[in-house]
Amino acid sequence: MAICCGLLFSSCVFVPAEDSGGSQSGAPGSGGGSNSSGMPSPELSSSPSAAVTIAGVDVDGRNLTAAGLVSGLSESGGTCEFVIFSPSTGVAVKVSRIGVQNVRSTSCGSVQAPIEKFSRGNWNVVLNYTSNSEKASSVPLVVHIP
């Protein structure tokens, strides 16, 4: 699915699609499943989940901006590291900032990297969160550099 933000970015963000087919195991963190009565089991959020919420090239074309959060964890002081890498060349650009506590999540806010650091093509953006007590990594989000 593509999300285009014309006011903020000149390119689209591609959000990984969830697998709607197949079976669910019911294991913790697997999205539920069913119990012996056939009723859906509640999701267990025993570990935090990092997500890149948006990524793209700014309208002026000078920077790539990415933002993210960690759900299931509400703390300040951890490190949010955005890793933007090219699957074709292996080049990686890393930008970090400190996470900020929200009511039910940890905000990683937004980061920027100069567009000169990127070649044209598709790049993957991953958010890695690390604190004294927790670690979480997001799934890659694909962003196109025009």
CATH classification of the domain holding 92: 2.60.40.10
Instruction: Tell me if residue 21 falls in helix, strand or coil.
Output: coil
Could you give the percent of the chain with pLDDT greater than 90? 68
Cα 75 from chain centroid (whole Å): 18
36 has pLDDT over 50 = no
Across residues 68-77, what is the average pLDDT? Answer: 97
Number of domains in the chain: 1
Across residues 107-119, what is the average pLDDT? Answer: 98
Its domain, for residue 100, covers 2-15+44-145
Residue 111 lies in a domain: yes
Other C-beta atoms within 10 Å of 78: how many?
23
